[in-house]
Amino acid sequence: MTRFSELMAKQTLLPIIQAQSTKQGVQIAQAMADAGLTLVEVVLRTEASLAALTAIKQEVPQLKVGAGTVIDARILNQALQAGADFIVTPATSKTLLTELASCGVPVLPGVSNTGDILLAYEHGYSEMKLFPASLSGGVPFLQAVSSVFRSVRFCPTGGVNQQNMQDYLSLSNVFAVGGTWVAPAKWVEQGNWQAITAACYQALNRQGAEMTHSVT
């Protein structure tokens, strides 16, 4: 099975797409792809999410597209049928981890405390999502657990933004950060796709002469 970090390659941002329609999902994804991203997560929090995931895979084929907010077997099966390239969960349980074991795609299980980390570790995972990161101890928590769970690496999500992302990425046990700050609801409602592209460029540390759009 491909490790989640291998799927991300050198991308250190896991951008989150929350779409209210299929078209909106494709537009957000295209804006992210225009910034050079190769992998995005569609959170399954709206009625349009599954259709948006499938449409993004068809219309923005250069992207790997995963499903987030997977909390049970029913949602997992729906995500896989929609074509999800990977699965992200907000939390863990023995039941969910058992279901995930045979899903056939990379999984990033969500944890929020040491008990969760141990449970996921016992099920064979060494890469996990810390969620909600800012409410689960943030950088100090990750620093504290690094000597206990020495082989575990994290992708913090929840409360991560452009201002603090480097604080997380500087940690030896963090391989990426996730968040919605690169595609806030305001920009999506305005159809401000250039702002999303610019924010993704900034998050990837790729701003320079080639990037002339301003994020407003």
Q: Provide the annotated active-site residues.
A: 41, 129
212 within 8 A of 197, measured Cβ to Cβ: no
Structure tokens at 56: 């993004």
Structure tokens at 45: 């929090």
* Beta carbons within 8 Å of 71's beta carbon, 6+ residues apart: 89, 90, 91, 96
106 within 8 A of 2, measured Cβ to Cβ: yes
- CA dihedral defined by 59, 158, 90, 206, rounded to 10 degrees? 40
* Beta carbons within 8 Å of 212's beta carbon, 6+ residues apart: none
Task: Give the pairing type, strands 127-130 and 110-111.
Answer: parallel
